[in-house]
Structures are given as C-alpha cells and as structure tokens.
Structure 1
Amino acid sequence: MPDANPRIPFQMEGDAPPLPPFRGKRVIVNLAVNVEHWPFDQPMPRAVLPPPHGIRAVPDVPNFTWVEYGLRVGMPRLLELCRQLGIRASNLSNSEICTHYPRLAEAMLKAEWEFVGHGLYQRALATFENDAEIVEQCLAVMRGFSGQKVRAWLGAGLSEKADTPEVLLRHGITYLHDWLVDDVPVWMTTAEGPLLSIPYTVELNDVPVYVIGQHTSSALADRIRDSMAFFARDGFSRTRVMTIALHPHVIGVAHRMESFTAVMQELADHPEVSFATSSEIGDWYAWLHPAPA
C-alpha cells in the first residue's frame, strides 16, 4: 500500500538517528519574516476588518493600509531588533517588494537577510494558470535585485499545484518551506529529483496566533518560551529547527513588539540556540545527509 504522503516517506521522531548539534547548539531558530505586497486594485488576501454591510469593496482601504503599516512601521522595528541582536533573518518576500517598495528591499539587503521566494505578490500560486511563469518572473526579479541565488521558497498562503515542487526545482529552488511535516529537514521526491523540505510553522506564526486565534499580545512569546521549556525537559537531546513565522503588520505593532522583543533577547542569550536562515539550514542538512540517488 502506498504511503499517505506522496512526497515524503513517513517516519516518526526517533526513527532516524539524532542530528548532531548545529554550530554546537541544539535549537536552530529561523526567523522567517513574510514581507508582502497586497495590490491596492485587487481584493485583499485576508481581512482584519470585515467589510461594512458584508459588501467587499475594491479598493479595500482599511485592509490595504493595515498591511502597508507593517511595511512602513513594523519592518523598521524588526530590522532594528535583528540588528541589535545580531540576527540574520530569512526574508520571505513577494518579488514586487523589490519593485514597489525598493527602499525596504534595500534595507533588508543591507541587513544581509536571505531573500526567499514568495511569489510575485500575495496571491496563492494555485490560482494562477501560468504558475511556472509566475515562479520564473518572481525569481528573476529577486535574483537580479539581491544578487543572491535565491534557493529557498515559501508559497503565498503555502499554496501549491500538484506539480509545484517540480516547477520550483526546474527554476533552481532546492529548499521548500510549504510542507509542515517535521522539526528537521526531510528529503521529498519529485519527478525532477530530490527537493529538501525545510521546517516552517503555523504554530509559532503570528497570523494564526493573532489574526485567526485572536490571542493576547504576549501569546506568541508564551508559545516560544513553552517550546524551549519542552526541549529543555528532554535535555535538548535532539537538534531541532524552530521556525518563527512573522508578518510585520501583525507582530510589528507596539503592543506585541514589547513581549516579542523580550523573548527574542532570551533566545539570543540561550546557550542552546543558534539563529540561521533557510538556506543555511538546508546547506547544513544536505551536507550531513546528501540527496538520495
């Protein structure tokens, strides 16, 4: 009988030997900052404010400006926090950030953040008929702007078509965040060859926590602390990736930044934590466990 998962063979934690420490640490923290362009002349991907009378309007001024506030105000706060703590983040960015918000894209480039593909603008890849062209256009812009190879990808809304992994691999993507199956990288199969799945999260993610779950301002920090406490309970016996997924319009507001800044300082000071970007994690794992033949 075939595996339920068509891409990644099933295994349970403990089936494989533990990974060695990463730079001498057992917890690899990937600060994954989603930097998105929501086009003003299109329906918004998500709404923090329901439409009056139940009638959606275009332009959707309150929800567009909710997101642009994050680019104007939230991003400088996150950039400064990372600068103070010496963290190089992963910039999971729509490529139109480079063309519509070049000042911001230049700031992330200057901060030496890794550019990770995230589509042209914030629209699910599965909704495009010409998805391969969208991937090609996105990566051409990001690579041209950043001078980076751009080898990692997160689909907008984690959306894929049946052949998206093959499309990505053909366009030079080797690391994919869409598959949320494990706390460590795992090899996945495609018709084009192996592709490495890199951990992502909907649990330590500000959108499910705050926008969907409507939890209190310190909830994300509480989840991060509880995760670290659980890892400590087993003596940090296994090396794990702890991705923290952020959106500047959500985490970057003042009442959430206070508790988030405090917990980030705790992580930066923790003897078992090392920060790494998407491709740094992928390169490390692929060196330890090369792609299957």
Structure 2
Amino acid sequence: MSLPTHGRYDYTPITQRPDFDWPGNKRLAVYLGVNHEHFAFGAGKGAQIGNAEPEPDVLNYAWRDYGNRVGAWRLIDLLDDLNLPATVLPNSEMYDYAPALMAAHAVRGDEVAGHGRTNSESQSGMSEAEEAAMIAHCSDVITAHAGQQPKGWLSPWIAETEVTPDLLVEAGYSYTMNWCMDDQPVWMRTRSGPLLSLPYGQEINDIPAIVGRKTGAAEFADMIIDNFDELLDQSVAQPLVFGIALHPYIVGQPFRLRQLRRALNHIAQRRDDIWITTAGQIAQAYAARIPPPVS
C-alpha cells in the first residue's frame, strides 16, 4: 500500500544523523518565539478566553489586544532583566497598529520573522497568486521597517497550501517554523531549492497548552523547565533545538508572567551550558554545518 506523501523530506532517525556542535561547542540551542498578533474587529477567528459571542465579540477581541497594550511590554521587561534575545513573529499589520512595540524590539536587536498579515486570515484557503502576494507584502513591510528582509516564516495558524514551502523559497525565505516533526533542523525540498525546517514548539506553546488543554500557569512553567532539562540531558547524544512559543496576551497576564519568569530564569542560569540565541542564527549555524543534500 502506498500512502500519499508530501515529498518534502525523507525519514531519518535522530540516532543516525551526522554529529556536530553548536557555536561555542554547545549541544543545546534555545530560542524564544514571541508572537505579536493583530485581529480584525468583528471578523472572528482567534484564541478565546470565553465562549464566543456573535460579532462583534468584544470579550475575546479585547482579551487578545491586552497582549499588545500591556503583556508584550511586561514580557520585554522580563527579557531585558534576564538578558535574553528573541525571535519576534509579528503580523505585518502590527507595524501600523502598534509601531512603538515593534520599535522596542528593534532597539533590543531582536530578529523579526514573517507571520502573515493578520491572524484574522489563514493562507490555507488562498490561491497560489494570492498567497504569493500576501507573503511578498509581509516581506516588504518587515524589510521597510526592520532594514532587512526576514529569513524565517511562521504561518498564522500554521496553515499552508500545497505550495507554501515553494513560495517561501521563491520569496527569499531560508527557513520555516511550520513543521513540528523534529528536535533538529531538517532540510526540506521545494521546486525552487532547499528550505530549512526549524523546530518550533507546539507542545511548549502557550496557545495549545493553556488555551487548548487548560494547563495552569505553574504547570506550563514546569513544562518549560522539564522539557529544557530533558533536552539538555539528551543533547549529550545529539545536538538539539528548544524553541519556546509565547503569545503576550496569554503569558503576559501577571499571574502567568510570574511563572514564566521562574521558568526562563531556570534556563538563564544555565546559559554557560547552552546556546541562547535566535531562530535565524540557529538556521544559519545549521546550514554551515550540515549543508542541504544535493537534489
């Protein structure tokens, strides 16, 4: 029996891959993916704290907007306190809606990766031309404000069409965070050349954990700590990546921020044993050590 397949990558067990070290002879690379999202008012779609009401759903819209107005700034303070870099994943609409927030990340020197125009839309229903235009628009907005074209992409809702990886390469992207199949980067095939899949947390991600599975703040912090400690132990055998996915309207709530502080402080205390960096630097380092296979 032959099942349909994506054809993007081959199966290779993590125990049978080339060994290497991250910069500084480190074995575990850690990055924070901070999502900044803006939603169309009265248009639906988005994480919910309570039952959705007929539009305009003021409760859930305003709850999400708390992240842009308050939670994100508290999170930046926390990152500054612990001297932690971040990969920022903003909807391109954030540059118009909350320019001061995006400017604050620019001052920090954080990497900016593409994350669609708005999480009020999903690219999975787009035609190829529409999707290509959307990706190009996001790239142009980020380039105009950040001064360089983004190299990484995370789709809103992790939604793709059959040609999304192809379009990303054709738009100048070198890595994607959509595919969560590994603890190491994985080279993917596209019609226009290789694209690197970078590990992005779907278990250690506040939306699936807290909104989806109703995980408590302390439990989510424990998940981060346990995942980190276990990966650090496992990294003796294989170099690994730990990406922590955060949304300020969730972890920026004061009681959750207190617990996140505990978890990130635990990681920061081991900074001499790990490589704390950005997603883009991980992708660049991996490509230098493990070039894409010849097609």
TM-score, scaled relative to structure 2: 0.93
For 2:122, the equivalent position in structure 1 comes to 124
The answer to whether residue 251 in structure 2 is matched with residue 251 in structure 1 is yes
Q: Is the 8 A contact 1:37 1:96 kept in 2?
A: yes
The answer to whether residue 96 in structure 2 is matched with residue 99 in structure 1 is yes
For 1:219, the equivalent position in structure 2 comes to 219
Q: Percent identity?
A: 31
Could you say if the C-alpha distance between residues 259 and 236 of structure 1 is closer, same or farther in structure 2, counting changes exceeding 3 Å? farther
Q: Is the 8 A contact 2:228 2:242 kept in 1?
A: no
Paired positions, count:
289
For 1:286, the equivalent position in structure 2 comes to 287
* 1:235 to partner: Cα distance: 7.0
* 1:18 to partner: Cα distance: 2.5
In the TM superposition, what whole-angstrom CA distance separates every residue of 1:44-97 from its partner, at most 9, and x where no partner exists?
32322113xxxx422211111111101111101111111111111000110000
State how far apart, in whole Å, the 1-side matches of 2:155 and 2:169 are. 14
Q: Please, which of 67, 70, 74 is the counterpart of residue 71 of structure 2?
A: 74
For 2:136, the equivalent position in structure 1 comes to 136
Q: Is the 8 A contact 1:30 1:90 kept in 2?
A: yes
Q: Partner of 1:218: helix, strand, or coil?
A: helix
Deviates more, 1:231-240 or 1:250-259: 231-240
State how far apart, in whole Å, the 1-side matches of 2:23 and 2:158 are. 27
Q: Is the 8 A contact 2:183 2:241 kept in 1?
A: yes
* 1:114 to partner: Cα distance: 0.6
State the one-letter code of the partner of 2:9: I
Q: Give matches, 1:1-293, under 5 Å.
A: 4-51=5-52, 56-122=53-119, 123-129=121-127, 130-234=130-234, 236-270=236-270, 271-293=272-294
State the one-letter code of the partner of 1:50: N
Could you say if the C-alpha distance between residues 196 and 224 of structure 1 is closer, same or farther in structure 2, counting changes exceeding 3 Å? same
Q: Is the 8 A contact 1:87 1:275 kept in 2?
A: yes
Q: Is the 8 A contact 1:44 1:60 kept in 2?
A: no
State how far apart, in whole Å, the 2-side matches of 1:289 and 1:156 are. 29
State how far apart, in whole Å, the 1-side matches of 2:84 and 2:291 are. 27
State the one-letter code of the partner of 2:211: V
In the TM superposition, what whole-angstrom CA distance separates every residue of 1:150-198 from its partner, at most 9, and x where no partner exists?
1100000110000011111111111100011111111000011111111
Could you say if the C-alpha distance between residues 278 and 58 of structure 1 is closer, same or farther in structure 2, counting changes exceeding 3 Å? same
Q: Is the 8 A contact 1:33 1:248 kept in 2?
A: yes
Q: Is the 8 A contact 2:187 2:194 kept in 1?
A: yes
State how far apart, in whole Å, the 1-side matches of 2:248 and 2:152 are. 20
Q: Partner of 2:201: helix, strand, or coil?
A: coil
Could you say if the C-alpha distance between residues 113 and 233 of structure 1 is closer, same or farther in structure 2, counting changes exceeding 3 Å? closer
In the TM superposition, what whole-angstrom CA distance separates every residue of 1:91-135 from its partner, at most 9, and x where no partner exists?
011000011111111111111111100001112111333111111
Q: Is the 8 A contact 2:35 2:90 kept in 1?
A: yes
Q: Is the 8 A contact 1:3 1:10 kept in 2?
A: no
State how far apart, in whole Å, the 2-side matches of 1:9 and 1:59 are. 46
Q: Is the 8 A contact 2:140 2:149 kept in 1?
A: no
* 1:227 to partner: Cα distance: 1.7
* 1:251 to partner: Cα distance: 0.8
Q: Is the 8 A contact 2:47 2:211 kept in 1?
A: no
State the one-letter code of the partner of 2:243: T
In the TM superposition, what whole-angstrom CA distance separates every residue of 1:178-236 from its partner, at most 9, and x where no partner exists?
01111111100001111111111211000111101111111221112212332354573
State how far apart, in whole Å, the 2-side matches of 1:266 and 1:107 are. 25
Unaligned segments of structure 2, at least 5 residues? none
